[in-house]
Amino acid sequence: MNKKYLFKKSIALSVTLILFLSVLSPTYGRETAEKIYTGINNANAILNNIDYRDVKQTNVWSKEAICEVSALEIMKGYGNQTFGRTSPVTKEQALTLIYNAAGREAEAQVAAETLNAKRAADNRKTYAPAMWSDGYLQLAANDGLISAKDLEDALTADQSTLTEGSFYRSSAAQRQDVAFWIATVLGLPPVYSQQKIFNSYSDWSQADPYKIPYIEAVLQNNIMSGLGNGRFNPRGSVTREQMAQIIQNALSIILPLRGYERKLGTIESIESSIDFTDGQSITRNIYNVRNSNGKRHQIITEFIAGKSQQDLRNELNGSIKERENTDLIVYKDGWLGKSSILESGDRIEYTVTSEGKVAFVKVISNISETKYLVAKVNSINKANQTLNISKVFDLDYPNVDLEDKNFSFDGEGKDVNATFVYSSDVEVFVDNMKSAIDDIEPGMDVILSITDNMITGIKSVVLKLRDQGVASGIVEDNNPHLGYITLYNEKRLKDESEPNIKTYNYSNPKNITIIKNHKPASIEDIEGGDSVYIKFDDEGNIELISAVDNYVQKHGKVLSKKLTSLAIQYDDGTQQILAVSNDIPVILDKKMVDYDSIKEGDRVKLLLNITDSFTKLKQITIEGDEHFIAGIYKGVVDKLDEISNNLVVKNMEVLKNGKWQRVEQKGYSAIGLAEGNEIYYKNNNIDLDFVNKRLRGNQAYIAVEKDYGGEEKAILVSFKEKDDTELNELNDNILLNTMGSEGELVLKNGKNSIAYNKGTIIVKDKRLVTGSSISPEDTAHIIANREFDNGKYYANVVEITPGNDQNSIVIYRGRIANINENKDFTISAFSQLNGVNWDFYNTPKTFRITYDTRIIDDSGVVGQRNFTDYGESSFKDRTVYILAKGTDALLVNTVPYGNVSVKGEIYEIVGEEEPSELTVVNAKIYNSSTYMWENSKDMRLRILNNSIILKNNSIAEAKDIEKGDKVRIIKKDDSRTGDAYIIFVESN
């Protein structure tokens, strides 16, 4: 037959097949694909390697993670169809896997080749994997993951010669090691305000202190978690399946490092065509995917059969090499397959490389089988295995960003409650962590996966409602008499720009349908802490309030405040430490304020969600200034009048500016007792009867607050022994505090430590606090006594003198995230100088640029117009010091970071007009481990062009420093020389 005829016939057949198949699929001719991707050439080889018998035929929890990290060629099996799920990961294996995941294989191989080349010829390694492993160890040493000594141990040829405590490369990696290594390699900053590890795991103290901030980082990024029994087990080993899960948990960070992207979409159609040109049949499948952004993507696979004139031959035997197909690795229904298992309607997650190849596809579900919706959980019935919810809107995917347009509001269902049965093996994720049904709480916003009207998946989500006509939130106040209800953190569907606290008025409650806990109720039943939905009619009037009593109110006092926790003493005397999230609402005078507004000693009202397993803080309301300490008195107690509830005192004096002064009233004075008062004697809380029987005629120290009528009332009374001797008033800096409700203070100029206890009146920021609130470098007025029996000193009064106020300069350090030219700039996270320590805050902070703001870099003053986040001189991502009053930036400076504090006296200054060096005598260095100032030899320090100098709470210049000035300096290290980064001129 004529070859030309055959060729024409094959072309015609190809065209016919294309036309025929295209009739069966939707036409996309008018819509251009936003992205076109192809399969990978080695899908068959990878799938053969992943055919793990110890994983495939099981229902192990780690199956999906093992499949994904293996498909991405981050982990491999043992080569005999075995993955080795429960085998421990050695140190060298863990380092190899982490660096491989981060895409640094090439670096490791180069390092390995360099190491091997330095060996004698007969000692060089010839087995490639062993040699490459050396390269990963070298990278780890370069990056500080292991020490130089560890590397030396690891590279020792005969590992049996190593002694106890050496670094055995083949020993099991510990969980804390893996956390430290993966956080460092992936660039996660250490988190020094530990919240999760301290609050969630009882064995945190068993971890290496140096690694705790890195453990916290992986916990907060949901890369690792505990054992489920309240333990993290930092020194435990890590199995291969656990390592696979850890890597999968970190893929959101790992994939960008490898140049990969993860996308979501739904397969709308599959088009196939066959091309018989060149003597081969090429089957081309086009998967038309509707991406979650609404655009069309295409994924193309090709399968080649037959011979071609361009065929390549094996150089050993001349056989024709098979041309590689481009296919996909697909995870569906619990195991891996090729693209042939994909169907129209599949919702998929697809990972694409920088070359436009699809490395992995995971089928989430099919649109004909599973639907997703966002809802608020109303109640859980574990006995009947049901979940009652309020439906909000439908979703296309179970894990898309709600800011995308991948959902539709269900108008009919927005106020309709529904009850669903949940599956016994329902998958639950809370805060992106694998959880259990017990972790789902009423009031949560969740994404539900529903198959055949049964809930098969639950995932918590932060919800931002967008429709009109409904407000939701937590009741801050409901006043039926005045006709208003106030919500905080409310989600008004009409306008997201409305404030987080809003008050809604109602004139006639009888016209409002009230539902409480799914039953008809009255407006008086709506209480503070209730979670509510408010529905409005077309004219904006309230027509329905639906409430659930999810939260309880408790009142108490702040004993201690940290960045991520509050220690509270409730009015019933019990104490509790509560975790505080970055977005916790704080309210003062019905206005949202910053967390910084809370001071130790504040009276607060708390909204709490309390269950048998946890207590979650939902809102903090500061109760105003009615509990501020208005004064401190001392005098001889004549009696305690139990009828009038007054303390009768004679010879009364008041503490002012650290000195006792007689009060105007002579003779006897009466001080009422405040509600919640406490009376102490010898560190014991005593009752009124004990005072009248045993302590009449004793001197007492009395802290008073004002009641609502402005009358002073005693809130804390501390009695002293008659034979003890009161010392002269002390006004000094605190050098050391052992912390706690009982402890000791060491003063800068004092020779003896001074004890304090529960009966000591400690006042800071006008608030009554505990000893835990006393910080090194605090300045205090101290009233102390010497015990008659043993000569020891104890404090009756510690009054911390005011520190930074709105007019004081505060020093921050952080990396610039963006600059709003001539208006403001934001740092992504920051450290704030607190005495001699830097306190880290993992939250952005914005500063105003005013006409007085100065910008200085290494070369000198920078004009404000040149302070931008673009161009060659961009300040974006530069780390700077900011000196600010409030949020007004006074100075932005690029001087280097220092964390060593020294102090002393200026003995000599080099350069009169432009001082360049100074000599410090009587020098001391602050030891952050012992909290003590330690003697040092004289220092000679350089003054930089951009050294920061503060004098009298003002920014000064080098020429303002004088001989004889007492200074505190922040520098890089504890050497006797170096650069002075920050100079505080403290006195002359």
Q: What is the pLDDT of residues 555-579, one digit of tens each?
A: 888 888 888 889 888 877 788 889 8
What class has domain 810-893?
Answer: mainly beta
Structure confidence at residue 40 (pLDDT)? 94
Structure confidence at residue 411 (pLDDT)? 34
Q: How confident is the model at residue 918 (pLDDT cuts 50, 70, 90)?
A: very high
Average pLDDT over residues 670-696: 90
User: Which H/E stretch holds residue 183?
Assistant: helix 175-185
Is the predicted pLDDT of residue 476 greater than 50, yes or no? Answer: yes
Q: How confident is the model at residue 31 (pLDDT cuts 50, 70, 90)?
A: confident
Structure confidence at residue 13 (pLDDT)? 39
Place of tokens 């009528």: 709
Per-domain residue ranges of the chain: 47-258, 370-460, 470-549, 552-622, 626-720, 723-802, 810-893
pLDDT above 90 as % of the chain: 31
Structure confidence at residue 195 (pLDDT)? 64
Return the number of other C-beta atoms located less than 10 Å from residue 221's C-beta.
Answer: 18
pLDDT in tens, 599-640: 888 888 888 877 666 788 888 888 766 678 889 999 999 998
Structure confidence at residue 36 (pLDDT)? 95
pLDDT in tens, 859-909: 888 888 889 999 888 999 888 999 998 888 999 998 888 888 899 999 999
Identify which has the larger pLDDT, 988 or 83: 83
Q: How would you class 741 by CB atoms within 10 Å of its CB: exposed for 0-12, middle for 13-18, buried for 19 or more?
A: middle
pLDDT in tens, 41-88: 989 889 998 989 999 888 888 999 999 999 999 999 988 889 999 999
Name the fold adopted by 723-802.
OB fold (Dihydrolipoamide Acetyltransferase, E2P) (2.40.50)
Identify which has the larger pLDDT, 358 or 443: 358
Average pLDDT over residues 146-169: 89
Rounded to two decimals, what is the model's pTM? 0.45
Name the fold adopted by 370-460.
OB fold (Dihydrolipoamide Acetyltransferase, E2P) (2.40.50)
pLDDT in tens, 175-220: 999 999 999 999 999 888 766 666 677 788 788 888 888 998 998 8
Residues contacting 799, CB < 8 A, separation 6+: 632, 655, 658, 761, 762, 763, 780, 781, 782
d(CA 243, CA 249) in angstroms, rounded, equals 10
Nearest one of 173, 219, 176 to 194, comparing CA atoms:
219
Q: What are phi and psi of 532, to 5 degrees?
A: -130, 155
pLDDT in tens, 499-553: 467 778 786 778 888 888 767 888 888 887 777 778 777 777 888 887 876 677 7
Which option is the CATH number for 626-720: 2.40.50.320, 1.20.1250.20, 1.10.3720.10, 3.40.462.10?
2.40.50.320
Residues contacting 174, CB < 8 A, separation 6+: 234, 235, 236, 237, 238
Q: How confident is the model at residue 465 (pLDDT cuts 50, 70, 90)?
A: very low
Superfamily of domain 552-622: Nucleic acid-binding proteins (2.40.50.140)
SS3 690: helix
User: Is the sign of the CA dihedral 660, 665, 667, 673 positive or negative?
Assistant: negative
Torsion of CA 568, 202, 739, 743, to 10 degrees: 100
d(CA 652, CA 727) in angstroms, rounded, equals 17
Q: How confident is the model at residue 490 (pLDDT cuts 50, 70, 90)?
A: very low
Domains 626-720 and 723-802 share a fold: yes
d(CA 341, CA 49) in angstroms, rounded, equals 19
pLDDT in tens, 301-330: 998 876 555 566 666 666 666 667 899 999
Three-point CA angle 857, 863, 868, nearest 5°: 80
Residues contacting 476, CB < 8 A, separation 6+: 486, 487, 488, 501, 528, 587, 590, 619, 621
CA distances in angstroms from 75 to 46, 264, 520, listed in the order given:
11, 24, 58
d(CA 835, CA 838) in angstroms, rounded, equals 8
Q: How confident is the model at residue 418 (pLDDT cuts 50, 70, 90)?
A: confident
Give yes or no for a contact between 91 and 169, defined as CB atoms under 8 angstroms apart: yes
- Mean residue pLDDT across the chain: 82
